Structure 1
Amino acid sequence: IVALLAPDFASVGGKAELTSTMTVIMMPFLLFISLAAVVMGILNTKNRFFIPALASSFFNLGSIIGGTTLAFLLPKYGHPAIVGMAFGTLIGGFLQLGVQLPVLKNVGFRFTPVLNIADPGLRRVLKLMIPATIGLSATQINIFINTNFASSCAEGSVSWLNYAFRLVQLPIGLFGVAISIAALPVLARQASTNNLAQMRTTFVSSLTMVFCLTVPATIGLIILADPIIRIIFERGAFTAADTRATAIALSLYGVGLFAYSANKVIVPVYYAINATRYPVIASFLAIGFNVLIIINTIEYFQHRAIALSTSAVMIINFLFLMVVLYRRIDGFSLRNLMAGLLKIATSAVVMTFVLLFFYNFFSAQFHRSILHQISFLLLLIFLSATSYIAVLHLLGLQELNDIITKIRARMAR
């Protein structure tokens, strides 16, 4: 498997062997993540959305915190630090499953090992799985392509890209996946009753909320990439040069964050209206564009070309799905969508100025102790987020006001 995915690893002594060892360590991750996805689906049918949506964040936290801790400890016992990151991935996968199990028990689920192929529900699931599996296979092909290209770049490129992509998955899991999971049952119910007018309204509102949450996250990832990477990874064999290379990749991945998250909301609409072939077409178009962009940019940009291509492909994918969906459901309110985007963009500009001002003002603090760096990073996030929310609230974004109203209602109970 390693020889197929990363043939250039064999040219570096011990690298292919180490990769094989890490692959074996992470093999149970497939079981954990598959079960986590099944449990998430069951809980969603029971209208339990919060913990399943939060579960992917537990994976990111477990893999990052567990991985970096073990990467620090394992060299003391004669093991490479990178092996700690492999165990961290395993820990993250276990946490993503484990955090959902108590909720699964609370909704009355009891596991019984029975396989009935004739069950109509199972047959319908298998039928829906076919286009979804084909679409996901395209994603895995892109990962294969990216890894192959990255292995031919400078030493460390695969790790730089993996670390950066893992970090960008955190806001995707928190925002894009969470909103799509909450919106899917509503959209499916509206589609099944042929209530297309309400479905269009729900879709525009969900998409606006995705932009509302991911645009500031994108700005934060781009501007604060260096301190984020330095705080999390820069120790031991991970040098300042690795920090800079990973930060650049994180910034480039961040550019496509809004599109990646938006696609998580758009694709379920296609499934709700039984137009599953279009996400599959989009996925395979993405493969072609990905290869084309990387081939034409990798010689000059090296590992940056792969991160840039990933974001570019996500944006192309987003535009394709939006245009086709607009035609499939006889349009949706572009006026409402653009009005929301204008308010988000205005707030984002203010946030950018606030963040840049305070980042430059506190820049010296990011060369002191790790506690100082963490404290001032959190302060920057707080100041920029506060400015963004304040302007957005002042401009009257309906989706934000709805969230504030719900929070106040819960606090009043």
Structure 2
Amino acid sequence: MAKKSDQTGTIARSAAVVSFAVLCSRILGLVREQAFAILFGAGYAFDAFVVAFRIPNMLRDLFGEGALSAAFVAVFAAYNEKGEKETWRLASNVLVFFGLFLSVLTLVGIFASEHIVRLLVQDEYIQVPGKVELTARLTAIMFPFLTLVSLAAVVMGVLNTKGRFFVPAMAGSFFNLGALIGGVSLSLLMPRFDQPAIVGMAIGVLIGGVLQLGCQLPTLRRTGFRFVPHLDLRDPGLRRILVLMMPAVIGLAPLQFNIVINTYFASSLAEGTLSWLNYAFRLFWLPVGLFGVALSVATMPVVSRFAAQKDMPNLKNTYVSSLTMAFCLSVPASVGLIILAQPIVRVIFQHGRFDVAATVGTAEVLACYAVGLFAYAAVKIMVPIFYALDRPRYPVIGSFLTMLVNLLIILAVLEHLEHRALALSISGAMTVNFIFLSVMLYRLMGGYPLAGLARGLGKIVLASLLMAGWLYGLQRLFFPGGISEERLLLDIAAVAVCIGSSALLYGLALQLLKLEEMNLLVRRLLRRG
């Protein structure tokens, strides 16, 4: 039996590599959101952009980077054993088929954009003069993003199967870079042509999509791929991909409906609510991407190998180690985001047209999102294990459960908590999903070391409570009167001191408590440095 520390070390090392690429993309994404905050603040124009972008982005998550990517990798990996000719023929056929299919879907979306927008929002949104028309125009501009990013996902699948990971992982950074530079430049030019400035940011999304696809093509060519345009609907590989996509689409659909549900209810609240939710989710998604996604990517090949070998003891140990690492990173991040929500939002976003009211609203939403951070990170690790064990129905059931709980929480507390309810509903739904998947996985695996997991979690909670007390004291010291518009440099320094000292205290506490997963993470990071 492989040692637990060896498995944990492998995952920690792989997670660090993936985290670097994710970190680059997330940082550029934050800079892009800062540009939105400076130029548009939180209100009319950015609300319209948020609704408009959610439509193609939701379809991207559902059909492109979600179901299509997973199904394509599974089939392409099998074809890879048959020889290059068959492999590249399949890749070309898939690119042509989905290029045509998504192009038709895009055209339908462009012509039906206003009807789609009206389905997503309530009367309060529709009654604002010109807002639906602006949203529809932005939707039509950004719809081709669906095709670009879905083709980029296929290329990413080819490269990953061929052992090329770094460039595909950095593709998101190219998107954010193109959307940022192109979008900001064009938004400054649009008013000269009697167009709303926000239109420039919509065109920037297309520029980013082109770069996300284009940056991978040179590496794809170096793998030996040569594109041969052809379309064969009888190709068994293509048919297999379409068959595999169906359960994945069904599993992802409830999560996308959550976006529709929350957008619909947010559109009935005060102007700016959609903007607050978007800004807060961008901040919240940074640790989810760094910890949850990175650990999931690193864990998947390990658990797949153990599942294929029917090596249940090592599979259990690997799962417990990965989950402990997720808690080790996400629990203190939640504490920090809750206590420092206002200072963090103020430092990052409160510039230009983003005012104090927007900071307060965004910070309240961020704190509510942060409550469920541990569940987000944990579910990212758990779901691949169900697929490795050939039990995909449980994550699908969990997705439907998430949608139901999200809706029930919104209906129960929206009137009292308003915009905060929409973030708390997501946190509550993900927590219920985490509990459900934990129980199912425990039964499916015939149990796993709960005592070891409980010991690790106990150490993490103890260290996090110590850090929370320290952080609360610093927050009262540095921000006694709340947030200010006039002391940006001092606020930046104060936030840096709070985060840096709290992270150091937390790390030292876990070092003294001898949490193995934390010690391995630190050693890997020091070795890479």
Question: 2:471 pairs with 336, 355, 358, which one?
Answer: 355
Q: Give the equivalent residue in structure 1 for 2:320.
A: 204
Amino acid at match of 1:393: Q
Structure 1 partner of 2:418: 302
How many residue pairs match? The answer is 409
CA distance change for structure 1 residues 202 and 243 in 2, over 3 Å: closer, same or farther?
same
Contact 2:183 2:205 in 1 (8 A): no
Q: Which protein has the larger Cα radius of gyration, Structure 1 or Structure 2?
A: 2
* One-letter amino acid of the counterpart of residue 372, structure 2: G
Which residue number in structure 2 is paired with residue 394 of structure 1?
A: 512
**1:192 corresponds to:** 308
- Name the structure 2 match of 1:112: 227
- Of the candidates 444, 447, 451, which is equivalent to residue 328 of structure 1? 444
1:128 is aligned with what amino acid? L
Unaligned runs of 5+ in 1: none
Q: Is the 8 A contact 2:300 2:385 kept in 1?
A: yes
State, as a whole percentage, how many aligned pairs show the same letter: 52
**Distance in structure 1 (CA, Å) of the matches to 2:365 and 2:289:** 19
Match of 1:6?
A: 121
Any conservation in 2 of the 1:54–1:174 contact (CA below 8 Å)? Answer: no
Residue 277 of structure 2: aligned partner:
161
In 2 relative to 1, CA 88–167 (structure 1 residues): closer, same or farther, beyond 3 Å?
Answer: farther
Query: Which letter does structure 2 place at the counterpart of 1:215?
Result: V
Distance between the aligned counterparts of 1:402 and 1:148, measured in 2? 44
Which residue, 438, 452, 456 being the options, matches 1:340?
Answer: 456
Residues 265-292 of structure 1 deviation map (CA, whole Å, 9 limit, x = unaligned): 1110111011011111111111111111
What are the Cα deviations for residues 82-115 of structure 1, in whole angstroms up to 9, with x where unaligned? 5566456556656665666676566x26352466
Q: Once the two structures are superposed, what CA deviation does each residue of 1:369-404 show, in whole Å capped at 9, x if it has no partner?
A: 434333332232211111111111221111122223
Residues 1:372 and 2:490 aligned together: yes
- Given that residues 26 and 89 in structure 1 are in contact (C-alpha distance below 8 angstroms), is that contact kept between their aligned partners in structure 2? yes
Q: Is the 8 A contact 1:214 1:261 kept in 2?
A: yes
CA distance, structure 2, for counterparts of residue 72 and residue 370 of structure 1: 26
**In the alignment, is the contact (CA less than 8 A) between 1:70 and 1:81 conserved in 2?**
no
Equivalent residues in 2 for 1:28-43, closer than 5 Å: 28-43=144-159
Unaligned residue ranges in structure 2 (runs of 5+): 1-115
1:144 positional shift = 0.6
Q: 2:248 aligns with which of 132, 156, 163?
A: 132
Separation in 1, partners of 2:287, 2:175? 12
SS at match of 1:110: coil
Cα 1:111–1:286, aligned 2, differ >3 Å: closer, same or farther? Answer: farther
- For each residue in 1:200-242, what CA deviation from the matched residue of structure 2 results, as whole angstroms up to 9, or x when unmatched? 1111111111111111211121112112222232234332111
Given the two structures, how large is their TM-score scaled by the length of structure 2?
0.70
Shift of residue 194, structure 1, vs aligned partner: 0.9
Q: Does 1:25 align with 2:141?
A: yes
Residue 12 of structure 1, CA deviation: 0.6
Say if 2:171 and 2:215, in contact at 8 Å, map to a contact too: yes
Residues 57, 170 of structure 1: 8 Å contact kept: no
Task: Please say if residues 183 and 203 of structure 2, whose CA atoms lie closer than 8 Å, have aligned partners that are also in contact.
Answer: no
Q: Which moved more, 1:376-385 or 1:65-74?
A: 65-74
Q: Is the 8 A contact 2:466 2:506 kept in 1?
A: yes
Quote the Cα distance in structure 1 between the aligned partners of 2:450 and 2:171. Answer: 33
Q: 1:19 Cα shift?
A: 1.2
Aligned to 2:339: 223
Deviation at 1:132, TM superposition (A): 1.6
Alpha-carbon distance between aligned partners in 1 of 2:118 and 2:128, rounded to the nearest angstrom: 12
Q: Which moved more, 1:54-63 or 1:152-161?
A: 54-63
The structure, 1 or 2, with the larger RCO (C-alpha pairs under 8 Å, 6+ apart) is: 2
